[in-house]
Amino acid sequence: MESQPSRADLIDPASIASLGRIEIVARWVVDGFLAGLHRSPRKGFSVEFAEFRPYMPGDDLRYIDWKIVARADRWMIKQFEEETNTRAALVLDVSKSMDWTGSTSRLTKLRYAEQIVAALALLFIRQRDAVGLIRYDEQLRTVIPPRARSIQWMRIIRGLEQPGSGRESRMADAVVQAAKLVKRPGFVVLVSDLLIDREQIQNALRAVRAAGHQLIVLHVMDPLERDLDMVGEAVFADTETSLAIPATVADVRTAYRKTVDRAIEEWRSMLASLGAAYEVVPTDTPFGVPLRRALAARQRIP
């Protein structure tokens, strides 16, 4: 008998999400994720010194400047470039197409994405980074400017609980607003199912990169959207335009898969040309996977 994963970031997302409220699950996920990271001998500090800051409980005692302690009776920590504050805006698509799942055993794309955003926000705050939130559908539903204080996370959790699911997707407006919130070069993380014309968003994404921000796009997909793993007759409907077309699944499966794969590659190519990171994230993927990919993308983008 196989043993079940003990870390929340490795458990089936629907199973772990059923065990508590979004903030509880996000804490479990982030705790498990951080516990699973390979520890650097430098404890996360880079070799490039930046400045001093006051000692905080839990700081590594190896980085206390004992000369300052002896001279001024003040406990100061050497802060290195990797630890200096980063500013980030998390941009969440809450349009109607996100509120869908291909199986009752899986989370909707929106619930899955909300959990990712909650965990990412907590991860940034625990790294002493400033993080904010933008939610959008046919309008900007939530705009929370980046802050690094611990209370910010609960503001973001409350923001995630606000209503949404309008039919249209004003992604360009949301991305432009995110770039404005991040005053100096930082991060914009877009979480969406990307059911939008690329031409409508390309200029906005290019503006984000031109402003010096690092851009990470997490493309949330239900497994059924990719593989069309069903049989019989079906009605294929666009939840945002109400367009519906009946068809036999077997007749369209191959062409459908090719179309989806082509769309993914076109997104990947366009975002790569902008110097952005792009990852497809199926909703049956444990939450630790997109967190790891986002962290890797953060380290990878110049």
pLDDT at 250: 63
Residue with the bigger pLDDT between 94 and 43: it is 94
**How confident is the model over 118-134, as a mean pLDDT?**
92
Q: What is the mean pLDDT of residues 104-133?
A: 94
Q: pTM here?
A: 0.80
Predicted confidence at residue 120, as pLDDT, reads 96
* 238/211: higher pLDDT: 211
Task: List the domains of the chain with CATH numbers.
Answer: 49-82 (no CATH), 85-300 (3.40.50.410)
Give the pLDDT confidence score for residue 164 in this predicted structure: 76
Strand partners, 130: 87
Reported confidence tier of residue 16, pLDDT bands at 50, 70, 90:
very high
Looking at residue 40, its pLDDT comes to 40
Q: What is the pLDDT of residue 180?
A: 92
- Average pLDDT, whole number, for the chain? 83
- What is residue 153's predicted lDDT score, i.e. its pLDDT? 94
Quick: pLDDT tens for 200-225. 899 999 999 999 999 999 999 999 98
